[in-house]
Chains A and B, each alone.
Chain A
Amino acid sequence: DTGVSQNPRHKITKRGQNVTFRCDPISEHNRLYWYRQTLGQGPEFLTYFQNEAQLEKSRLLSDRFSAERPKGSFSTLEIQRTEQGDSAMYLCASQGQVLNTGELFFGEGSRLTVL
């Protein structure tokens, strides 16, 4: 296993379209996180899963955003009716539970551009 994988790496879409990002975490990691990063800012927490359960969602996450992790392995993040303000880098990170030290392992991100 080479790490956290995200795809697509880049997505350009028109306003109002739906987009979906996929994250494949490190296989033995049971926690999975989604963050959003805009230019000049640090990663902003969106949501996280422990196995298939979504345990927390940021209040900043509008109802146009939905995330799933159906079998406790890969996860998808869907944005419906995209807006220009959704343009950002969407980061996925995974985290192990055994001897958990809090370290997050990040993918390279999926960059969304909404025209």
Chain B
Amino acid sequence: AQSVTQLDSQVPVFEEAPVELRCNYSSSVSVYLFWYVQYPNQGLQLLLKYLSGSTLVKGINGFEAEFNKSQTSFHLRKPSVHISDTAEYFCAVSYTGGFKTIFGAGTRLFVKA
């Protein structure tokens, strides 16, 4: 069965500092991997996705993530965060084919001035 573990529930960081949000997954089959972002009082929106190919994927707003199959990880990074990046970030996994996406518990990123 699939599962997703986000290792940090909250990450406070100062503006312009780098950040990494950690995600590990478990699955015995090939998967698609996603990061979604949820800004306050808004719906979830896709930040980036890994389907196949290059293990480094780039998303919106300067975020990127690296797929590591041997460590079953898909950590999200940004070299310099802004106040506007304050939000909840969810890592998610689905079987190839995109059915039934499973989400992690989320990491709240809080960017301080």
Question: Does the CB pair A43–B98 fall under 8 Å?
Answer: no
Complex Cα gap A44–B32 (Å)? 18
Min CB gap B35→A, angstroms: 11
A41 to B38, alpha carbons, bound, how many Å?
Answer: 12
How many interface residues does chain B have, given as a range? 20 to 34
* Cβ-defined contact, A107 with B101, below 8 A: no
Contact of A40 with B103 in the complex, beta carbons under 8 Å: no
Residues on B lying within 8 angstroms of A by beta carbon are 4, 6, 9, 32, 34, 36, 42-46, 49, 51, 90, 92, 94, 97-106
A91 touches which of B9, B32, B44, B97 (Cβ 8 Å): B44
Say yes or no: A45 contacts B101, CB within 8 Å.
yes
CA A41 – CA B32 in complex, angstroms?
21
Q: How far is the CA of A4 from the CA of B102 in the complex (A)?
A: 20
A103 x B105 contact (CB < 8 A): no
From B42, B43, B105, residue with most partner A Cβ within 10 Å? B43
